[in-house]
Amino acid sequence: MSKEIKVSPRTPKGFIEYLPEDQILFSEMFQKIRSTYELFGFTPIETPATELTEILLAKAGRETDKQIYHLAKKGEQISLHFDLTVPLARYVAQHYDKLTFPFRRYQMQKVWRGERNQKARFREFYQCDIDVIGSNNLLVDAEIPSVIHAVFVALGFSNFTIRVNNRKVLNGFFEHLNILDISKEVLRIIDKIDKIGKESVSKELQTLGLKKDKSDAILRFIDIKGDNADTISQLKLLGANNTTLNEGIVELETLCRYIEMFGVPAFCYKIDLSIARGLDYYTGTVYETVLNDYPDIGSICSGGRYDDLASYYTNKKLPGVGISIGLSRLFFKLREAGVIQPSKSTPSVVLVSQLDATYLPNCLDIARKIRAKGINAEVYFESDKIGKQVKYANRLKISYVVIIGEQEVLSGKISVKSMITGEQRLMTVEELTGLIAVTE
């Protein structure tokens, strides 16, 4: 069957896959995010990987269009989704009458973007989104940071900051400066402040035709510092008598009071007036989240409030709030920084080894009893020397090797070798499963 010409086995550029040890670690993070979302009563939905191209393009700008993977197939023109927000909008518009609002949904799927190939810029990656659709209530905005907090605590982090802002504050301030017509350009420049610094932002602002006094005012504005109460005070002291700005300040103040009520520790959230997020989309509260020890990773969880989710597909007005965790990128960055490390290459906690084929029925019976307690266990089927079997357990980082021979069968017990301590003891199956229930 061997062919002369082989196709060299490799993945397409920009598409990533992991060895089992990393895949297990990735899956664990995925499941923790999932179960935390469910803990807060978010309900799962899953949309197809593809949408009709006209659905995707209804909203997508030209920049996004370039990134879309279209499928070359006769019949309907379909494309791979590039985010989970457009599919959500289409889903809610399509199934509106069958959904209960406020609609709390989570969605954790791959999305595809034909981006230029750069390091840690994947063409296929997971997004883990939650949204609450159909409520204007600021309590919903305040719940989001409590979910973000719970997720990152579940993932083992403690030193992170959820940065919050409100688009009305920004927009109102721009109205006040009479630069609302170029706010998109201004926001795009402000958004780069972490990357390029104040001076470059000031320069870029002036290339927009802004006088120095206005670009200074903008820089002073986004430079407002202090704790949340200070920030609110300084915003009020701006004395800019603008309705939108004042509304934004009140919302931001209320939001902070609510977030506290939701039990998020004070050191975990902070007003940051430099956060703008998506240019057209967000209309109220916006969020970014940073790991304070790894600022280079950038925002690991972002989102905000929008007025109208699905205006391209329905006349129903659907306000909401949502966030997204780009898990593939986060995983890659954390792994690269050595923050997370794989610890096992198999879900198996126990390897039942095989000393002698005679005792195989006993081995299988023991494995069944261990699994009956919900503990992952595999049996070594090859007739290899015990040393090779232990080596296999060692390579896969399996914690316990069970050995069954004449002595064990006669005594009704099993020999258990701990791969962590190297110690070997005779015990009952129940003692082993009890031990694992405590330690794993």
Q: Show contacts with a copy of itself in window 119-138 (CB under 8 A).
A: 124, 135, 137
For the bound state, the minimum distance from the C-beta of residue 99 to a copy of itself, rounded and expressed in Å, comes to 7
For the bound state, the minimum distance from the C-beta of residue 181 to a copy of itself, rounded and expressed in Å, comes to 18
For the bound state, the minimum distance from the C-beta of residue 391 to a copy of itself, rounded and expressed in Å, comes to 10
Nearest alpha carbon to residue 276 among 202, 167, 189:
167
Size of the site for a copy of itself (CB under 8 A): 102
Q: Does 3 bind a copy of itself (CB under 8 A)?
A: yes
DSSP 213-282: HHHHHHHHHHT--SSHHHHHHHHHHT----HHHHHHHHHHHHHHHHHHHTT--GGGEEE-TT---STTT-
Residue selected from 364, 385, 406, 434 as contacting a copy of itself according to rule CB under 8 A: 364
Q: Does 64 bind a copy of itself (CB under 8 A)?
A: no
For the bound state, the minimum distance from the C-beta of residue 226 to a copy of itself, rounded and expressed in Å, comes to 26
Q: Strand pairing partners for 103?
A: 133
For the bound state, the minimum distance from the C-beta of residue 166 to a copy of itself, rounded and expressed in Å, comes to 18
Are 80 and 69 contacting, i.e. CB atoms less than 8 angstroms apart? Answer: yes
Q: Does 234 bind a copy of itself (CB under 8 A)?
A: no
Residue selected from 62, 63, 75, 421 as contacting a copy of itself according to rule CB under 8 A: 75
Q: Does 425 bind a copy of itself (CB under 8 A)?
A: no
Residue selected from 38, 230, 336, 440 as contacting a copy of itself according to rule CB under 8 A: 38
Within 388-417, which residues bind a copy of itself (CB under 8 A)? 392, 395-396
Span of 8-16, 203-211, 218-226, 417-425 interacting with a copy of itself by CB under 8 A: 8-16
Q: Does 69 bind a copy of itself (CB under 8 A)?
A: yes
Per-residue contact flags (x/-) with a copy of itself for residues 303 to 332, judged by CB under 8 A: ----xx-xxxxxx-----------------
Q: Does 368 bind a copy of itself (CB under 8 A)?
A: yes
Tokens of 376: 């992952």
Residue selected from 130, 133, 140, 297 as contacting a copy of itself according to rule CB under 8 A: 140
For the bound state, the minimum distance from the C-beta of residue 151 to a copy of itself, rounded and expressed in Å, comes to 12
Within 239-278, which residues bind a copy of itself (CB under 8 A)? 261-263
Nearest alpha carbon to residue 270 among 304, 225, 223:
225
For the bound state, the minimum distance from the C-beta of residue 425 to a copy of itself, rounded and expressed in Å, comes to 22
Q: Residue 65 to residues 57, 69, 358: CA-CA distances in angstroms?
A: 7, 9, 65
Residue 357, classified by CB atoms within 10 Å of its CB into exposed (0-12), middle (13-18) or buried (19+), is exposed
Rounded CA-CA distance 324/148 in Å is: 10
Q: Residue 171 to residues 116, 245, 288: CA-CA distances in angstroms?
A: 33, 7, 18
Q: Does 58 bind a copy of itself (CB under 8 A)?
A: yes
Residue selected from 188, 236, 371, 425 as contacting a copy of itself according to rule CB under 8 A: 371
Start-end of H helices in 310-405 = 327-336, 360-372, 386-395
Nearest alpha carbon to residue 353 among 324, 388, 327:
388
Rounded CA-CA distance 170/276 in Å is: 8
Q: Does 54 bind a copy of itself (CB under 8 A)?
A: yes
Per-residue contact flags (x/-) with a copy of itself for residues 281 to 300, judged by CB under 8 A: --------------------
For the bound state, the minimum distance from the C-beta of residue 192 to a copy of itself, rounded and expressed in Å, comes to 27
Which of 233, 418 has the CB closer to a copy of itself? 418
DSSP 372-390: HTT--EEE--S---HHHHH
| Radius of gyration in angstroms for the set of CA atoms belonging to the chain, rounded to a whole number | 27
Span of 160-168, 192-200, 342-350, 400-408 interacting with a copy of itself by CB under 8 A: 342-350
Which of 107, 215 has the CB closer to a copy of itself? 107
Show contacts of 208-213: CB within 8 Å, 24+ apart: 208/182, 209/182, 210/179, 210/182, 210/186
Residues written for the chain: 440
Residue selected from 29, 33, 45, 325 as contacting a copy of itself according to rule CB under 8 A: 45
Are 422 and 400 contacting, i.e. CB atoms less than 8 angstroms apart? Answer: no
Residue selected from 12, 239, 387, 412 as contacting a copy of itself according to rule CB under 8 A: 12
Rounded CA-CA distance 183/299 in Å is: 22
Q: Give the contacts of 197 (CB within 8 A, at least 6 positions apart).
A: none
Rounded CA-CA distance 48/328 in Å is: 19
Residue selected from 33, 60, 84, 93 as contacting a copy of itself according to rule CB under 8 A: 93
Within 186-215, which residues bind a copy of itself (CB under 8 A)? none
Span of 33-41, 210-218, 266-274, 405-413 interacting with a copy of itself by CB under 8 A: 33-41
